[in-house]
Structure 1
Amino acid sequence: MKRIVKVFRKILILLLLIITVLGIVTFFYMRREEFGALPEGKRLELIKASSHYKDGRFRNIVERPTLTKGYSMPGVLYETLFTKFPHRSPVDSLPSIKTNLKALNIHDNAYVWFGHSSFFLQLDGVKILVDPVFSGKASPIPGSVTAYKGSDIYTVADLPEIDYLLLSHDHYDHLDYETIKELQKKTKHVVCGLGNGAHFERWGYTPDQIIEKDWYESVNVKPGFTIFTESTHHDSGRGFRSGQALWLSFLIQTPSMQVYYSGDGGRDDRFKSIGSKYGKIDWAIMECGQYNKAWQSVHELPEEVALGTKELGAQNLLPVHNSKFTLANHPWKEPLEKITALSKNQSYRLATPMIGELVHLDKTDQKFNEWWKNVQ
């Protein structure tokens, strides 16, 4: 019996040592610059003044659990780790087009998608970059979430000077440390939610470059051109503390059109209210991918994307948040297959450009192929 007790004590001591070493390694690893920074000082005081900040973190308009009723975190983790899901990533290289962004006609209203939720807009001569991720990864853990073959053809060097960089939220698949560091010298302004400026300042951006906004505010670009910051139902965080920086969607209003970007977020009444508030929306760029019924609260299913697009009153739909990273268990091409089927005979037109393909936003007759069909 004494021998068993001694063995048990040794095992317990060894486990404690392992836990301690892992804790120390994690502590120092998470002090790396790529994890960003938490807001403090005047920035934190501004955050505390927001009506959307309560009990030490930002809150969604309607609070609800992240996990859908009937699901549990241990169950979801077990399923992810031990269940094999087919076709989560493509075997083939994705087809793409390398558009010369620096040679675009300044008078053209244009959109170019870089895969997932990264895209470039040129509207009324203003160059806008959204949620750029060009490092080939979407996780701080090396080798864990990497870009599909063929999806990562652009670099920061391929971009023109950027007037406004829009950030929807600070998760790694939207806020990429390496990309943001490289962009500092060619970006005039960053528009982001309250608290996110702490990341940018740590990474070398000046206070003059950073514009932090709450929901339902605006940035006046020039006469007739305004960027409005709207709500979404999501979360934020790059470490152990979540909800320290605000998540956004954007409505871009120009003299010739209105473009809406949903950011990430589960379904709520925002699409109806945004459609009513702004009137005709020419293009809706909507999150459509990396979903699961277990976390439907914070990522919409394709049928909810189709419904939200109709509620916005959008004329055209561009689905994003797919075709670059595997962050969910569904087949990689399922979001595009489902939204294509759901968009038939709808009030809006679906546009499905391949990565890098130039979309002429003033044209309503531009054709797009179902490029994913023959990709394995």
Structure 2
Amino acid sequence: MKKFKKILKRTIVVILCVIIVLAAATYFYMKQPQFGALPEGKRLELIKNSPHYKDGKFRNLVEKPTISEGYSITGEIWEVLTKKFPRTEPVDVLPSVKTDLKALPRNRNVMVWFGHSSFFLQVDGIRILVDPVFSGRISPLPGKPSAYKGSDIYSVADMPEIDYMLLSHDHYDHLDYETVKALQPKVKYVLCGLGAGAHYERWGYTAKQIIEKDWGEHVDVKPGFTIFTENTHHDGGRGFKSSQALWLSFYIQSPGMNVYYSGDGGYSGRFKDIAAKHPPIDWAVMECGQYNKAWQSVHELPQEVALATTELKAKNLIPVHHSKFTLAKHPWDEPLKEITKYSRDKNYRLATPMIGEVVNLDDSAQMFRQWWKNVK
């Protein structure tokens, strides 16, 4: 009996030591700069004054479970660990175009998509860069998810001087430490949700560069040009403490045209509200990819993207959040196939540019081929 007690005691001591070592290793690992920073001081006090910050975190306008009824987090994890899902990433190199962004005349209204949700927008002489991720990966941990072959052809060096860099939310597939840190000298202003400025500040951005906004606010860029920060239904976080930085969508109103970027978020009545609040939308850039019925509340299914675009009364749709990283169980090209199907006979035009292809925003006759066909 005494021998058993000694063995048990030693086992408990070993287990406790392992737990302490793992906890210490995790603590110091999480101190690395790629995890960003939590808001504190004056920034935290400003956040606490927001009507959307309650009980220590930001909240959606209508709160609902992240996991849909009939599904569970453990069940989803078990499926990913034990099942293989077909064609979640392409075997072939994705077709793409390398456009010289620095050579684009300022008077051209264009958009260039870089895969997933990263894109360059030039409207009425203002250069905007949205959710840039150029490091080829979207995890602070080694390994996958990594960019598909052919999808990661742009780098920070390819970017021109940027007037406004927009951040929809602080998840790793939208806010990339390596990319954002390297971009700092090229960026005049960062426009992000309340709280997200803490990340940029830690990464070397000055207070003058950072503009943090709540839902329903705006930034006046120049006469007739305004960027509105609108709501979406999602969340945020880069560590153990979630939803400390607000997630946004953007309505960009310029003298020549109006552009809406949805950011990430599940379907809600906000699209009708945004359409009623603002002038007609010329181009809607909408999240369409990395979805699952299990987390439908925070990521739209393709049929919901089509419905939302209709409710926005947008003239043109560009689907994003696909074709670079695998974050869901669906085939890599399913978002494109599905949104093409659901966009038939709609009042908007579907535009499906290749990565790097110039979208001429003033050209209503520009044609886009279904580039994903015959890509294995």
Question: Fold-level match, TM-score > 0.5?
Answer: yes
Structure 1 position 83, deviation (Å): 1.1
In structure 2, C-alpha distance between the alignment counterparts of 1:101 and 1:354, rounded to whole Å? 15
After superposition, residues 31-70 of structure 1 pair within 5 angstroms as 31-70=31-70
In structure 1, C-alpha distance between the alignment counterparts of 2:282 and 2:41, rounded to whole Å? 40
- Root mean square deviation of aligned Cα: 1.2
After superposition, residues 1-376 of structure 1 pair within 5 angstroms as 7=7, 9-376=9-376
Structure 1 position 142, deviation (Å): 1.1
In structure 1, C-alpha distance between the alignment counterparts of 2:60 and 2:292, rounded to whole Å? 20
In structure 1, C-alpha distance between the alignment counterparts of 2:282 and 2:272, rounded to whole Å? 15
Equivalent position SS for 2:359: strand
Residues matched between the structures, number? 376
In structure 2, C-alpha distance between the alignment counterparts of 1:368 and 1:22, rounded to whole Å? 51
Q: Alpha-carbon deviations, 1:297-331, whole Å to 9, x = none? A: 10111111000000000000000000000111111
In structure 2, C-alpha distance between the alignment counterparts of 1:344 and 1:3, rounded to whole Å? 76
In structure 2, C-alpha distance between the alignment counterparts of 1:312 and 1:64, rounded to whole Å? 23
Equivalent position SS for 2:238: coil
Q: Alpha-carbon deviations, 1:13-50, whole Å to 9, x = none? A: 43333322221111100000111101011111110000
- Unaligned segments of structure 2, at least 5 residues: none
Q: Alpha-carbon deviations, 1:225-248, whole Å to 9, x = none? A: 000000000001000000101000
In structure 1, C-alpha distance between the alignment counterparts of 2:347 and 2:336, rounded to whole Å? 18
- State percent identity of aligned pairs: 68
In structure 2, C-alpha distance between the alignment counterparts of 1:279 and 1:65, rounded to whole Å? 33
In structure 2, C-alpha distance between the alignment counterparts of 1:85 and 1:173, rounded to whole Å? 21
Structure 1 position 98, deviation (Å): 0.2
In structure 1, C-alpha distance between the alignment counterparts of 2:61 and 2:267, rounded to whole Å? 12
Equivalent position SS for 2:128: strand
Structure 1 position 9, deviation (Å): 4.8
Q: Alpha-carbon deviations, 1:44-69, whole Å to 9, x = none? A: 11100000010011000000011001
Equivalent position SS for 1:314: coil
Structure 1 position 281, deviation (Å): 0.4
Structure 1 position 80, deviation (Å): 1.2
Structure 1 position 107, deviation (Å): 1.0
Q: Normalising by structure 2, what TM-score?
A: 0.98
In structure 1, C-alpha distance between the alignment counterparts of 2:232 and 2:19, rounded to whole Å? 38
What is the one-letter code of the residue matched to 1:256? G
Structure 1 position 374, deviation (Å): 1.0
